[in-house]
């Protein structure tokens, strides 16, 4: 009986021990798993934090680096460059910039949008009198200037105001002839027959002669009433305006048709604007225009485009455009310079980007499209018409794509700097801090056949290139750094690395003398 009890107690104790061992084992297993996971995370964080700092570069993209933090002359911090930052950029065709750099550079993007591109055509112009409101006073007979009533150029005159008096023997004779004929008609009023008709014809011809000489109706009536001819005839202004030209001098003799006075009505004037050739297709008659004069900077005058001249000035490549505008108070004076703004409507909604987004090198135009955070894709674009702040993009960017509108030239400098660093291989930066080489496209070995330092070329008889599936051959290579040629001599056996800079152009980025080769091996560090 006691032995059974003891056996039962032993079995229970054994079960408890086994359960305890299982529980402890599971606990240790879980604990061990957690420790392993934490260690892996810690290792990744540590590896990320321990990314190797290569050097600090100039924030404006200048070829200037430093091994320690510093500032440029403008007070901007040099930007750190870490190992592996430019990986996969060339393959993706994009420029990768860290978020920290993007913030420091002040990069800002804006989406391309469809909009009607209204714009202003600006042109320089000048005030001119309305040619239809300019009058010349020219007597139609020979005579002498007897007296001047207006004797100053620029003097304002009213319509009908006396300008000058003339004496002419022909005029006196014509007046006497008309007076005699008028008296004859009066005396033969009750008669009938050919005599009365002849006298009437003589009176009519004399009257017509006086009218053709611009004798006023008032003077003719006075002559017919009194029957006495006047010695002088008074010429009056046909319009209200300004005397812009005066050739008459008291006592002078004048001939028929000679212009003695010129009067211009300046209540309405013209602005002749010189519009550049590339803008003239946008200008339409009937459109409104704004005119500003330096003499009145606070005023803006509005006129209407009435005519686009059919000729072009070859010297300035401009076409004259005529604008008519009222001139109250005669503030606008002939020969004044004017700045003209001609609003031009757009042709309809087009894809546009801000003008600041375009980098124009003279031969091509680029924009940077933000592919995602920290990645920018350079694209060549074809531009159309330009507005005040936006430009039409015909090809290269779609509606809604974000384009860089601020600090894009710094991104361009960033990409150019990285390309330059990569082309020089292990170029030294600063004091003892070397940049890591970018990815090398292809490797090969060969024998130097010839060196042309003047054009930076080397001829190599190289072996097979596995990465390009090339057989061995002899060909010419350019060098990324002219200093690489200093150690290359005909007959030297070298291991070299090269890339394709552009289609058909192969560039050596580094070359190393093989053991047993001729002395004077080229080094990728040469010249830096």
Q: pLDDT tens, position by position, for the chain (528 residues)?
A: 334 433 333 433 434 444 444 433 444 443 444 444 344 334 444 544 566 787 887 765 555 778 888 887 767 788 887 766 544 444 346 777 777 777 777 888 889 988 887 778 899 999 999 999 999 999 988 999 999 999 999 999 999 899 999 998 888 888 888 878 877 777 777 666 777 777 778 888 888 888 888 777 777 777 777 767 778 888 889 899 999 999 999 999 999 999 999 999 999 999 999 999 988 888 889 989 999 999 998 999 999 999 999 999 999 999 999 999 999 888 999 999 999 998 876 667 889 999 888 988 777 888 888 887 778 888 889 988 777 788 889 988 989 899 998 877 777 666 665 554 444 443 333 333 333 333 447 889 999 999 888 888 899 999 998 888 888 889 999 887 787 887 788 888 998 888 887 777 888 888 888 876 554 444 443 333
Superfamily of domain 268-344: Efflux pump adaptor protein, beta barrel domain (2.40.30.170)
Query: What is the residue-wise DSSP string for 119-155?
Result: EEEEEEEEEEE-GGGEEEE--SS-EEEEEES--STT-
Place of tokens 């590896």: 47
pTM for the model stands at: 0.49
Nearest-angstrom CA–CA distance, 235 and 166: 8
Look at residues 179, 180, 181, 234 and name the one whose alpha carbon lies nearest to residue 203: 181
Token couple for 131:
């040619």
Helix (H) / strand (E) containing 6: helix 2-49
Class of domain 440-513: mainly beta
Closest C-alpha among 403, 390, 382, 325 to residue 355: 390
Backbone φ and ψ for 267, nearest 5 degrees, come out as: -70, -20
Angstrom distance (rounded) from CA 120 to CA 20: 89
């Amino acid at each position: 009986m006691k032995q059974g009890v003891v056996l039962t107690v032993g079995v229970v104790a054994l079960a408890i021990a086994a359960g305890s061992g299982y529980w402890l084992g599971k606990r240790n297993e879980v604990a061990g798993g957690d420790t392993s996971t934490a260690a892996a995370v810690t290792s990744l964080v540590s590896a990320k934090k321990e990314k190797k700092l290569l050097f600090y570069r100039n924030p404006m993209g200048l070829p200037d680096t430093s091994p320690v933090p510093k500032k440029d002359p403008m007070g901007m911090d040099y930007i750190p460059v870490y190992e592996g930052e430019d990986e996969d950029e060339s393959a993706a065709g994009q420029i990768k910039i860290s978020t920290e750099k993007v913030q420091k550079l002040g990069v800002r993007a804006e989406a391309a949008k469809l909009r009607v591109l209204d714009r202003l055509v600006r042109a320089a112009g000048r005030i001119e009198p309305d040619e239809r409101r300019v009058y010349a006073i020219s007597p139609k007979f020979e005579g002498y200037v007897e007296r001047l009533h207006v004797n100053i150029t620029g003097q304002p005159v009213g319509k009908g105001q006396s300008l000058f008096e003339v004496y002419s023997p022909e005029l006196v004779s014509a007046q006497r002839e008309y007076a005699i004929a008028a008296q004859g008609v009066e005396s033969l009023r009750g008669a009938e027959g050919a005599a009365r008709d002849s006298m009437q014809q003589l009176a009519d011809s004399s009257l017509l002669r006086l009218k053709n000489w611009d004798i006023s109706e008032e003077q003719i009536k006075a002559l017919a009433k009194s029957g006495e001819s006047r010695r002088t005839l008074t010429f009056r202004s046909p319009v209200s305006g300004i005397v812009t030209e005066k050739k008459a001098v008291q006592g002078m003799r004048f001939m028929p048709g000679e212009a003695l006075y010129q009067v211009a009505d300046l209540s309405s004037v013209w602005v002749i604007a010189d519009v550049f050739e590339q803008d003239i297709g946008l200008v339409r008659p009937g459109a409104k225009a704004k005119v500003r004069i330096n003499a009145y900077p606070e005023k803006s005058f509005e006129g209407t485009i009435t005519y686009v001249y059919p000729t072009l000035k070859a010297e300035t490549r401009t076409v004259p455009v005529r604008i008519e505008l009222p001139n109250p108070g005669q503030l606008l004076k002939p020969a004044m310079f004017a700045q003209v703004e001609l609003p031009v409507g757009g042709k309809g909604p087009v894809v546009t980007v801000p003008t600041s987004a375009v980098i124009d090198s003279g031969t091509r135009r680029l924009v940077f499209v933000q592919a995602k955070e920290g990645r920018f894709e350079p694209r060549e674009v074809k531009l159309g018409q330009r507005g005040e702040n936006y430009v039409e993009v015909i090809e290269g960017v779609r509606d809604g794509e974000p384009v860089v509108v601020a600090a894009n030239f710094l991104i361009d400098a960033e990409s150019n700097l990285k390309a330059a660093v990569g082309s020089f291989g292990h170029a030294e930066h600063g004091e003892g801090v070397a940049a890591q080489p970018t990815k090398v496209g292809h490797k090969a070995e060969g024998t130097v056949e010839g060196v042309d330092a003047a054009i930076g070329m080397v001829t190599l008889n190289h072996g097979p290139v596995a990465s390009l599936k090339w057989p061995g051959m002899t060909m010419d290579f350019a060098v990324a750094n002219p200093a690489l040629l200093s150690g290359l001599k005909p007959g030297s056996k070298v291991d070299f690395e090269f890339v394709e800079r552009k289609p058909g152009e192969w560039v050596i980025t580094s070359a190393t003398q093989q053991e047993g080769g001729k002395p004077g091996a080229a080094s990728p560090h040469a010249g830096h």
